[in-house]
Amino acid sequence: MIYRRELSALLLSISIFSSAAIAATPGVLIKSETIYALPSSTAKPITKLSKGSTVNVLTKQGGWLQIGVGASKGWVRMLSVRTSGAVVSNSGADLAGIAQMATGKRQPGQIVATAGVRGLSEEDLKSAHYSAQGMSELASYQVSTNTAKSFAKQGKLIKQSIAYLPAPVDSQ
């Protein structure tokens, strides 16, 4: 009986693992990074991966991604892994290269048909006329400071004291 229970638990974990594996998203490291055993920089380091390494992203937890690298698994800062456009091999990509990839070249295979879908073009904005009704509607949804605080309390949101981030050097 015990054996059966363990077996079914094993099977269950296998099926969870395989569904995660199927859902895995390909990612590329945008900087060289340490891979940790747990989602924390104080956890045991497993290995280091260099910029441009491709990984499989399994799950996200806060600022950390669990990734599969070959047969092993580990955690890496989510801001170090780019998943969009990760299928493209770009181990040497720098910021400029990424920008070019994201803005310059059309990718015909990925274009979604949008005919008939209402968008918001420059022309729409240019020809727009003031909507007094829209503004009074908007104002009707405004909430007070106290209402917002109660809402935060309901969600168990706890304020944190964090300084703004300085601009990285290469943005200047």
Partner 1 sequence: MKKTMISLLLTTLSVTSAYAFDLNDLNNVLKQLPSNNTSQTTDNIGDTTKSNKLDPAAVLLGAIKGTSVDDEIQIGRQVSGNLLGASPLVKDAKLQNYVNLVGRWVALQSERPDLPWQFGVIESNDINAFSAPGGFVFITKGLYKKLNNESDLAGVLGHEIAHVVRKHQLKILQQSQIIGLGADALGREVKGQAALQNLIGSGAEIMSRKLDKSAEFEADRMGLVLAARAGYDAYGLPTVLEEIGHVAPGDSSVALLFKTHPAPDVRFAMLSEAVGDRLDNLPAGKELANRFYRIK
- Per CB under 8 A, does 3 bind partner 1? no
Of the candidate residues 17, 60, 72, 91, the single one contacting partner 1 (CB under 8 A) = 60
Q: CB burial class (10 A; 0-12, 13-18, 19+) of residue 91?
A: exposed
22 in contact with partner 1 (CB under 8 A):
no
Paired strand residues for 71: none
Per CB under 8 A, 92 contacts partner 1: no
- Residue closer to partner 1 by CB (options 54, 83) is 83
Q: Can you list the alpha helix ranges (DSSP code H) found in 1-130?
A: 2-23, 95-103, 122-126
Q: Which stretch binds partner 1 (CB under 8 A): 3-11, 44-52, 67-75, 109-117?
A: 109-117
Q: What are phi and psi of 65, to 5 degrees?
A: -115, 135
Angle (CA) 56 60 66, round 5°: 45
Q: Is 101 in the site for partner 1 (CB under 8 A)?
A: yes
**Residues between 67 and 86 with contacts to partner 1, criterion CB under 8 A:** 77-80, 82-85
Would you count residue 48 as binding partner 1 (CB under 8 A)?
no
